[in-house]
Structure 1
């Protein structure tokens, strides 16, 4: 008899492998590599055509995704640290590089490409504290209050903050 996998256990990632996915412009998965399938625990059939938030961990504050979508839908590439949830309840932290895919004839955004790799424990410790605080604010107040906290937090870190690319600014300080 197989032992059940304990929930809320971190999945160790191979530092030499990338988790790759592509989505359409609305965020539905159109491609996923074998490593994404392996780590997430979903089959290719379960992933293709589904919203990418199928792997969203409840520890992730909404403001992170709001800012991420604002950035990529405006045509800018972005990097982000994300905690994802596997099908079996385990999780994995990743550093994600989001790239815009455009129609070569029209220049219109047709989707997004994401390459994900493992991230150092030091960065996870720091960013998870910030994310936990943002999530707490969202639970007790609002996403707008969470965004204000984040902007104030970044303002305290330096005077030359690029508020048009807040996700990049978060990572600049870590």
Structure 2
């Protein structure tokens, strides 16, 4: 029996950087700035042409994205907190504003501009999202702390 411990590390979004992307009306990425690629751990060509949910973190409640799409369908600007998943399995938090891009009076695509989130806000929102996911999906996120001597024993058993 193989035991595997995945470690999920947070990447902090630099205070002086904005993450920018554009997506078509199906959610397919059409543009990313260098900051988006760097923070997400992907190369730009690994993102462009793929669904924006390539970076969706499993901690995100489905209702948040339903609200995002409903808001955009009404022609309004959506804003909220999002936990995204990096290519390496890590994560990063952002405050996102998503709006419709207009050209010659016609909607052509969506634009998302994201900025850093304070540690206190991350904790507050993670707790809110945990409650939402529990209510919506009947699942609970669990963080497990194990004494080091138990981990050493598990490693010895694997050998």
Q: TM class, shorter-chain normalised?
A: 0.7 to 0.9
| Equivalent residue number for residue 96 of structure 2 | 96
- Measured on the aligned residues, the alpha-carbon RMSD in Å equals 1.4
Question: What is the CA-CA distance between 1:138 and the residue it aligns to?
Answer: 2.2
Aligned residues: 134
Moved over 4 A (4+): none
Does 2:52 correspond to 1:80? Answer: no
* CA distance in 1: counterparts of 2:73 and 2:23, whole angstroms: 12
Q: Residue 26 of structure 1 aligns with which residue?
A: 26
Contact 1:7 1:88 in 2 (8 A): no
Could you say what secondary structure the match of 1:124 adopts? Answer: helix
Structure of greater Rg: 2
Using the size of structure 1 for normalisation, the TM-score is 0.73
Per-residue deviation, 1:99 = 1.6
Structure 1: give runs of 5+ residues left out of the alignment: 1-5, 142-174
Alignment of 1:59-74 (within 5 A): 59-74=59-74
Comparing 86-95 with 130-139, greater Cα deviation is found at 130-139
> What's the CA shift string for 1:49-101, capped at 9, x where partnerless?
11100000000000000001100122101211000000001100000111211
| TM-score calculated relative to the size of structure 2 | 0.80
Q: Deviations over 1:13-62 (max 9, x none)?
A: 21000111000111110000001111111111110011100000000000
- Where do 1:1-174 residues align within 5 Å? 7-105=7-105, 107=106, 109-140=107-138
